[in-house]
Amino acid sequence: MLRRFLTLIVFLGIAGVAQAQDLQPVLQTHAAEIANPSRSSVSVALEDLAASGAPQVSDFLEQWEDKGVWQRTSDGMFFFATEEGNDLRLRDIDTGAETLAPKSGFSQLKPNGGVRRLIGTALVQFQLADPDLARRASAVDSIARRPDESQLEPLLASVDGEPDAALKARKIQLANFLSASFAPDPNDKIDAINSLSKDTSIEARAVLNQILSVKTGVSADAPTGNVARLLKVGRDLSQEAAYAQLVEAKLAPPLVPSGSIRDALAANVVGGKVGDIPTAQLDNQPMREAAYAVLAGDGLVPPLVTQAEQIAAVEAHTFFEVYDEDNAAFTDAARAALDSIETRVGAAQTVDLTLDALSLASIYFLAAIGLAITFGVMGVINMAHGEFIMMGAYTGYVVQQFVPDYTVSIIIALPLAFAVTFAAGVAMERLVIRHLYHRPLETLLATFGISVALQQLAKNIFGTQARPLTSPGWLDGAWVFSDVIQISYIRIAIFVLALLFLGLILFVLKRTRLGLEVRAVTQNPGMAASMGINPDRINMLTFGLGSGIAGIAGVAIGLYAKVTSEMGADYIVQSFMTVVVGGVGNVWGTLAGASLIGFLQKGIEWFNPSNTLAAQTYMVLFIILFIQFRPKGIVAQKGRAAAD
């Protein structure tokens, strides 16, 4: 009866729009069933409500399910009502007119849980054909949360008439799920199962896993039923678990616990002996078991099961898993579909991991490219490079305090961060670095002290709490390829920014006079000086350029990570590793080093996703070994290294 009612809903609910009528007369026809409903009687009332074609049916079902319907005692009329003290705010079911009346003249309809489930199911099916897109989508979501056999026919009937393309695709997908589980025709069910082989969603895998659910079994003979696999003792289950399964199946006697042995011995002490064994000798397990065996031989206690008897009992039986689904054709199709999905998921996970690795590599490249320039040209180990990244991020934060439009603020922040950190880098080079050339230890200590000072200055100005650097709205969310493959728009933007910087830096180094002079100083500073190039000026501009690039990187990284005074310290180690592994002073080497470290870190995290610290530790160990075999990096620098 309920299935027939659900099927009629889709057709009559649509046709009823043209034949709409008042709902109250229909309610009065079934007043007894509605006022005091039961699971057995309510289906008739629900069917007639659907056949009425009244547009108020959906609203009535919602209110009835939520106990929002009241009946007037005097004439049995039904109203929607909300309580206001001792009164009720009544709303006419057909006209919507509101009145206020004393609560004493009405009784509230309170359907029990079983009836509410029937009403809810009916409401969902009725909403599948609702003119409101939101209601139809809500009905589909409700079916997805609580799939039921009765929902299949109305869902299939509503597919062809669905005008929204996205919702229609979702209905088809959900219909496949329900057909794979509940289709009455075996061929339809197998076709639905086969159609899921290309669906990598978690829902599709859940449907197939439900079809492939198994239970364990044991038999002294060949197993019967739809057997999934035979279990091998020692590989698939332990000896103890196998014997416990025999005991549960009443195919072997239960083991006697040690505590039961002691209790049995204590209960059978006669004349200072237990089974002719003096109690003084029962101070070890073998003697206690021997005494217990004597009692068992006399029939006083259950016999012990020896280890040899357990092994023999296990070897005499076959252990297996059998599908809950009896039809082997269904399980074979489900297994083939699930294997196909797992292959697709594996390939998708590889693509997703690759995208994550590219994203991380682009972040490391942005963080390290400025350091690669200064380290390669000047040979300066700048431990304050991370603080220039931090300064760039805080510059972006300050700009957003004055420019509320996040898109405009980012456009302003990028060149401003470059200018601020370029000036800071030039000042640092003029005041400190230029006096420490060719003194690497002093340079390292000095820049480390500057980094600490800059961190403290940032804390004094901005505090220790993380500050937000908000991305524009068009960077919210992620580009979703499938349930497995997706990448956030911010990561895509950082990747594009890294490519732009790569092109810009290559242009500056290869196509501008500054780039020519930088390459000349890098190759041979003495010869460059003899040709009229001022190495001191080039060192200053190069240090400023590297610092400015770090500032822009700080804006980009700040959109993705937290902006704090210590954020630079999170990237300084990776930046140095990127430069050293890639090849000091080489743009392509930095790109190669960032790619290697990004892919390596994501690969290690994939094997141990719960411990990123361990992944970083393994990555450092690998890089140490890598440097032992290739100390000049992936792309070895030519010129200055040879000259030095």
For 431-457, what is each residue's pLDDT tens digit? Answer: 988 888 778 788 888 988 999 999 999
Q: How many CB atoms lie within 10 A of CB 112?
A: 10
CA gap 13, 31 in Å, rounded: 21
The model's pLDDT over 583-599, given as tens digits with 9 standing for 90+, comes to 766 778 888 888 888 88
Q: How many CB atoms lie within 10 A of CB 588?
A: 13
Mean pLDDT of the chain: 82
CATH of the domain at 359: 1.10.3470
199: in domain? no
Domain co-membership, 173 together with 41: yes
Of 336, 327, 328, nearest to 194 (Cα)? 336
Of 204, 134, 128, 230, nearest to 171 (Cα)? 128
Domain co-membership, 233 together with 105: no
Domain co-membership, 270 together with 357: no
- pLDDT at position 6, please? 43
Q: Identity (one letter) of the amino acid at 600? A: L
Domain co-membership, 440 together with 554: yes
198: in domain? no
623: in domain? yes
CA gap 587, 635 in Å, rounded: 9
Tell me 572's DSSP state.
H
Exposed e or buried b for every residue in 316-341, given b needs 16+ CB within 10 A? ebebbbbbebeeeebbebbbebbebb
Whether 421 has a pLDDT exceeding 50, the answer reads: yes
- Confidence grade of residue 422 (pLDDT, cut at 50, 70, 90): very high
- Confidence grade of residue 64 (pLDDT, cut at 50, 70, 90): confident
Give the containing element (helix H, strand E) for 116: helix 113-127
330: in domain? no
Domain co-membership, 319 together with 350: no
- Confidence grade of residue 339 (pLDDT, cut at 50, 70, 90): very high
Domain co-membership, 532 together with 588: yes
- pLDDT at position 9, please? 42
Domain co-membership, 397 together with 543: yes
Domain co-membership, 446 together with 580: yes
Domain co-membership, 17 together with 163: yes
The model's pLDDT over 515-557, given as tens digits with 9 standing for 90+, comes to 788 777 767 777 877 887 887 888 888 888 888 988 988 898 8
504: in domain? yes
590: in domain? yes
Note down the domain range covering 265: 216-323
CA gap 264, 268 in Å, rounded: 6
Domain co-membership, 253 together with 141: no
CB 247 within 8 A of CB 254: yes
Higher pLDDT, 636 or 319: 319
- Confidence grade of residue 17 (pLDDT, cut at 50, 70, 90): very low
Domain co-membership, 229 together with 287: yes
194: in domain? no
Q: Model-level pTM?
A: 0.67
Sign of CA dihedral 482, 484, 490, 493: negative
Please say which residue of 164, 183, 202 terminates a domain. Answer: 183
**Average pLDDT in the 318-341 region?**
91
CB 68 within 8 A of CB 82: yes
- pLDDT at position 338, please? 92
CA gap 43, 32 in Å, rounded: 13
Count of domains for the chain: 3
The model's pLDDT over 101-114, given as tens digits with 9 standing for 90+, comes to 888 888 888 888 77
Kind of pairing between the strands at 214-219 and 277-278: unpaired
Please say which residue of 308, 323, 338 terminates a domain. Answer: 323
The model's pLDDT over 370-402, given as tens digits with 9 standing for 90+, comes to 888 777 666 778 888 889 999 999 999 999 999
522: in domain? yes
165: Cα within 13 Å, side-chain hemisphere: 0
Whether 639 has a pLDDT exceeding 50, the answer reads: no
Domain co-membership, 167 together with 234: no
